[in-house]
Structure 1
């Protein structure tokens, strides 16, 4: 597998039934790379393992004063060293390629899942957890795939050395054949506690990351209410808990490493003592003892690899469980999304709530509860996270959105969340998205009342350079802008796309009344003849809608014009005007 193929054109469909199955699936995807690592690894470890033969031959040649044997030993040592040196680079390249390829494949799968679920992803799993999975967990899973190639090569080489010792010196070989499996499996009883500690460490690390992400995202609000210190103390506490769990886990792995060194040292002392007795008895030569000692010291290399493999497996198993959890999230049943890839146009209807939006209308929806409004907006866009097989999604021109392929559903209906994300880059880059081509970026910005924002961005450009505000840089998530400015820029992007149905969830909640009124007029004019749904409780926006639908408890309760509902529906009036008392009837 060449790194030139990364990112993959198609990362595949992962097996997410469990963390272990996900790891096995990733291993299978990297089979060719693992075979390459195994081949170069055998040559690399073989060069190291065979060197004691040349060293023992050289020692015995000096004792026997045989120059021909010494020359042969030197040639063998050079040959083994050359094989090791040649294989080293290719072996390292192969295992690192496996690591990077696996991590890249997994990150592509996670990004694909994030694009499929949209804002529903962070409603099902905390944003900090998603960040932890796509960074640290991906690295740990890739680490296990990488180390598995080294493990297979070390295991086969170790097996070959033990077999060779049994033929070369049967008595010492028998001791080694018994001792090596004991040393390799001596850490097995400690793997269970190590896994539990690793699981606890991962959970606390995810919690700390989640808290940090939430704190950074709400930093502006925290400063406004003086809550920075409170959240700083919370993060400090979570960070200390994570540190303590990491130390607790590291102690277990220190014990495992110390046990390996201790047992191997005892084993080496026993073998040397036994070998010296054989030399004194005249049953083996000094050169054979040196060769045997070299073989045994080589065993330390695969034993360290076995220990690393066990460590990588435990950490990757914990990480894979969380990655599988994210990748297993579905927005629909497997039987859905198989309809024709044709984008329908017509009335939008939600059977669950009874909400009906006539084609080409500007419809405002009042829910009273912002969270309920957000869920209904998602449902109108076909973003339902846990749809049952017999559930009916929103219908567009009588066609269920869940029956459309994902790409067609997203083309038909665009949902702008109440907290839209602005990626870093220039303002022009913000409009580098698929669109109908009927609306220009300038028209969308004008309708969203972004003239003052463009002027501020123009002034931020370096002196002597371009004066085009579209080339100004927006920082990550638009943090250099105020909340109202971010809303207007995001609205302009949505208007530029010009979808068949545009669903806006509280698009002007952070905008002043004067600007909001102009946005409402601009939105109505630019979307004339196109279906637009706005979830809002602002009288300024409601007054400009063709029709208003009141959905207080998940079901449509009233439909009409804003000024009619204010005077005829007390519950609607309480939500919109924040009043409980009825207004005096107008003359």
Structure 2
């Protein structure tokens, strides 16, 4: 796999039983890249290991005053230098390729899982954790995959060098061969403690980051209530805990590094003392002593890879565990059994909500959270009635959550459609839609039926002032607003402008059924009336459901449904429900019970439209 071939056409089906199994699965899927890196690593390490032999040969040639052997040694050193350069370059190239391709595979898996779960993801896993997995954790996982091949090359080189030294000079080679396993495994007992301290540091850092994010998001409110110092104190305490945990973790890793410097130093001193004694006694030559000493010195470099792989694994294991926690989530859906896109009435058997085909239906809920959940149900596969984690952390034998009946479109359960088909048939616009960065033309260039143009959608969403603002900000001479770039999440626009652009994007798609959650909550009443009329006119003959409590929008709906505590309790027009349903009137007009009773008793509300009713009630409040 080359970087130029990314992204993967299919990132694969990961092993999500545990973090280590996920890391092993990643390694298996990159076996070719690992073997390439291992081969170049062996070339590099063995070429480095060959230098002591060439240097020792040159020293002995000088001692023996042999010019030909000295020239031969010089040529050998030159060849080894070229091999070292080539091996090191290609090792770095293949190792970094392994890192990037592993990170890309994990990111594709996370993106696929996010698209599959949609809004259900953040109900099961904190949004901050998903962001952490997609950024820092991906890099740590890639680091382990990249370090694995270099560690394997270093371990193989150590074995080859030890065997070579034993064959070359058994008296000193045996000492080195016996010491190397001890040096490599000396820090092994310290790794569990170092890993625990590193995990604690990351856990505390994650909590501090989450606290900082919450504080920044609510800064305006905190300033309004004078709570900055309170939250600042909490963040100070959290950051100090992170600092103390980081110091404790660094102390352990510095101890490991110190041991890996101290013990090899002891080996070298022992080797020099013992070798000098043998050379003085004439049992070995000076060149042989130089060769073994140089080889032992250069072997300290491969030993560093043992420390690196230990650190990489200790950091990547919790990262892989968090990635597995996200990747193991799934929707409880049945395989797709319907090939033809359905059309007709949109019906939710849980609440009894019916949106007739081709009509504009408004839904009123007293609880905004209930409205959001119902909108999500209308737009996709049914979630379990009681959501629970489906990872391997769940206790064995626990009953699986019961599944709510699926929403029906034209009598066909959405669960029987593929996820892509279900989302094409029923499109849901959230209460807080997100605008992606890019030009306005790119924003509106979405999969659609082709029946609604961008100009028609923008006009229906009353985006004239938005187009004027974008035209003024355009860098082109013609001032075309369609080519003006919109910043990330539409931060250069007001809340109402962002909401109307998102509405225009939804209208362009022209789905079989369109579900809008509070589509006019961020605009003034005059604009709201025009937007509601534009939606109704453009969606004529198409199924539209709008969750709202504004009389201006409700009065234009063909049909209004009142949902209370998860059940449809009343159906009619806005004016009918305003006259006959106290619960509906309380939600729409924000009346008190006493005002409702007074108006009902005096029959003052008869014949009054929704807008006039609000004006009458406001007058009562002023007189009171």
Corresponding residue SS for 1:249: helix
Task: Give the equivalent residue in structure 1 for 2:338.
Answer: 340
Give the distance between the partners of 2:486 and 2:236, measured in 1 at CA: 30
Task: Give the equivalent residue in structure 2 for 1:399.
Answer: 412
Corresponding residue SS for 1:557: strand
Task: Give the equivalent residue in structure 2 for 1:491.
Answer: 503
- Tell me if the contact between 2:381 and 2:422 (Cα under 8 Å) persists in the aligned partners: no
- Tell me if the contact between 1:516 and 1:540 (Cα under 8 Å) persists in the aligned partners: yes
Give the distance between the partners of 1:205 and 1:33, measured in 2 at CA: 33
Task: Give the equivalent residue in structure 1 for 2:355.
Answer: 357
- Tell me if the contact between 1:330 and 1:385 (Cα under 8 Å) persists in the aligned partners: no
Deviates more, 1:560-569 or 1:523-532: 560-569
Give the distance between the partners of 2:89 and 2:311, measured in 1 at CA: 24
Cα distance change of structure 1 residues 496 and 118 upon mapping to structure 2, 3 Å threshold: same
Task: Give the equivalent residue in structure 1 for 2:451.
Answer: 438
Corresponding residue SS for 1:533: strand
Task: Give the equivalent residue in structure 2 for 1:526.
Answer: 538
Q: CA RMSD in A?
A: 2.1
Deviates more, 1:320-329 or 1:154-163: 320-329
Corresponding residue SS for 2:567: coil
Matching residue within 453, 462, 465 for 1:449: 462
**Deviation (angstroms), 1:171:** 3.0
Corresponding residue SS for 2:325: helix
1:563 aligns with 2:575: yes
Task: Give the equivalent residue in structure 1 for 2:609.
Answer: none
State the number of aligned residues: 584
Task: Give the equivalent residue in structure 1 for 2:370.
Answer: 372
Matching residue within 414, 418, 424 for 2:437: 424
Give the distance between the partners of 1:225 and 1:422, measured in 2 at CA: 31
- Tell me if the contact between 2:381 and 2:419 (Cα under 8 Å) persists in the aligned partners: no
- Tell me if the contact between 1:341 and 1:408 (Cα under 8 Å) persists in the aligned partners: no
Corresponding residue SS for 2:511: coil
Cα distance change of structure 1 residues 457 and 231 upon mapping to structure 2, 3 Å threshold: farther
**Deviation (angstroms), 1:94:** 0.6
**Deviation (angstroms), 1:383:** 5.1
Give the distance between the partners of 2:248 and 2:592, measured in 1 at CA: 57
| Superposed counterparts of 1:204-243, under 5 Å | 204-214=204-214, 237-243=237-243
Cα distance change of structure 1 residues 383 and 238 upon mapping to structure 2, 3 Å threshold: farther
| Superposed counterparts of 1:72-151, under 5 Å | 72-151=72-151
1:200-254 alpha-carbon deviations (Å, 9 max, x no partner): 2222333344445455556676677777776666555544444443333222211
Give the distance between the partners of 1:472 and 1:159, measured in 2 at CA: 62
- Tell me if the contact between 1:129 and 1:209 (Cα under 8 Å) persists in the aligned partners: no
**Deviation (angstroms), 1:570:** 2.2
Task: Give the equivalent residue in structure 2 for 1:309.
Answer: 309
Give the distance between the partners of 1:31 and 1:449, measured in 2 at CA: 56
- Tell me if the contact between 1:198 and 1:318 (Cα under 8 Å) persists in the aligned partners: no
Task: Give the equivalent residue in structure 2 for 1:28.
Answer: 28
- Tell me if the contact between 2:204 and 2:241 (Cα under 8 Å) persists in the aligned partners: yes
Cα distance change of structure 1 residues 137 and 407 upon mapping to structure 2, 3 Å threshold: same
- Tell me if the contact between 1:570 and 1:580 (Cα under 8 Å) persists in the aligned partners: no
Cα distance change of structure 1 residues 341 and 87 upon mapping to structure 2, 3 Å threshold: farther
- Tell me if the contact between 1:128 and 1:207 (Cα under 8 Å) persists in the aligned partners: no
1:331 aligns with 2:331: yes
Give the distance between the partners of 1:239 and 1:301, measured in 2 at CA: 36
Give the distance between the partners of 1:488 and 1:205, measured in 2 at CA: 38
**Deviation (angstroms), 1:536:** 1.4
Give the distance between the partners of 1:231 and 1:524, measured in 2 at CA: 46
Cα distance change of structure 1 residues 398 and 508 upon mapping to structure 2, 3 Å threshold: same
**Deviation (angstroms), 1:174:** 2.3
Cα distance change of structure 1 residues 52 and 131 upon mapping to structure 2, 3 Å threshold: same
Give the distance between the partners of 2:459 and 2:554, measured in 1 at CA: 21
**Deviation (angstroms), 1:361:** 1.8
Cα distance change of structure 1 residues 230 and 361 upon mapping to structure 2, 3 Å threshold: farther
1:149-193 alpha-carbon deviations (Å, 9 max, x no partner): 101111111111111122122232222222211111122122112
Cα distance change of structure 1 residues 512 and 238 upon mapping to structure 2, 3 Å threshold: farther
Q: Which runs of 5+ in 2 are unaligned?
A: 386-400, 607-624
Give the distance between the partners of 2:35 and 2:162, measured in 1 at CA: 23
**Deviation (angstroms), 1:579:** 1.9
- Tell me if the contact between 2:379 and 2:423 (Cα under 8 Å) persists in the aligned partners: yes
Corresponding residue SS for 1:558: strand
Give the distance between the partners of 2:318 and 2:51, measured in 1 at CA: 39
- Tell me if the contact between 2:141 and 2:320 (Cα under 8 Å) persists in the aligned partners: yes
**Deviation (angstroms), 1:262:** 1.2
TM-score for the superposition, normalised by structure 2: 0.89
Give the distance between the partners of 2:231 and 2:446, measured in 1 at CA: 37
Corresponding residue SS for 2:564: coil
Give the distance between the partners of 1:221 and 1:501, measured in 2 at CA: 38
Give the distance between the partners of 1:139 and 1:384, measured in 2 at CA: 34
Q: Which runs of 5+ in 1 are unaligned?
A: none
Corresponding residue SS for 1:551: strand
1:270-295 alpha-carbon deviations (Å, 9 max, x no partner): 22222222222222111111111111
Task: Give the equivalent residue in structure 2 for 1:408.
Answer: 421
Give the distance between the partners of 1:501 and 1:229, measured in 2 at CA: 49
1:81-137 alpha-carbon deviations (Å, 9 max, x no partner): 121112221111110110111111111121222222223323332332222111111
Deviates more, 1:345-354 or 1:142-151: 345-354
